[in-house]
Structure formats: structure tokens, C-alpha cells
Homo-oligomer: A and B are copies of this chain.
Amino acid sequence: MKTTNKNLISLDEFKVKNYGKPGTKERDELEAGYEDFKIGALIHDTRLELGMTQEQLAEKVGTTKSYISKIENNIKEARISTLQKIVKLGFGGQLELSIKM
């Protein structure tokens, strides 16, 4: 029962990837101090490591590549249930979550 915990991330220690042009509403919001998430990068990196395209991932998960793109770029904040579907159906993994005190 060998399990590897990939990519443990603290949802606090990073800045979101650039999105859009400076001056746009979305970009401004992202930079305005809303909570930023590394989740997009986590999905993105895992997908690439598994050699999948957004479209292939979307098909496995039962969604569209446009939605995957939005998640990877932190444009939309996916639900945990959606993240779980991506990880489980798309990657064959298991999403875990914990509180570090």
C-alpha cells in the first residue's frame, strides 16, 4: 500500500499566476488581496505530469476544457466536490485536506 502525497500545499503562500491584462476587472480583483489559491497550479502540474491535455482531463471528469482552463488559472474557484472529481476521475488519485495547527 504505497501512497505518495504529492504536492501538499498551503493555501496561503503564493500568488496567483498572471491573468489577463493589468487593468481588467479580474486581474484587479486577483491582485486586490482576495484569497489566492495554488490549486490551479496543482491541477495544472499534475495534469502535465500525467501527460494529459485539458480536453482529455475534461472528458474524464465530465466537463469542458474551458472549465478546466478556468480552474487551472484560478479564474473560477472550484468547489471541493469538483476538485475531488478532477483528482479522482481525472487523475485516479484522492484529494486530501487537513488543518495544520
Q: Which residues of A are at the interface with B, using a C-beta cutoff of 8 A?
A: 3-12, 34-35, 37, 39, 42, 46, 77, 79-81, 83-85, 87-88, 91-101
Contact = CB atoms under 8 A, between A and B. Distances in A.
Nearest to A98: B8
Taken together, the copies of this chain in the complex come to 2
B5 A98 contact: yes
B100 A3 contact: yes
B77 A80 contact: yes
Contacts of A98: 5-9, 95-98
Given A77-B79, A79-B77, A11 B84 contact: yes
A16 B36 CA distance: 29
B39 A84 contact: no
A9 B96 contact: yes
A94 B97 CA distance: 11
Contacts of A77: 79-81
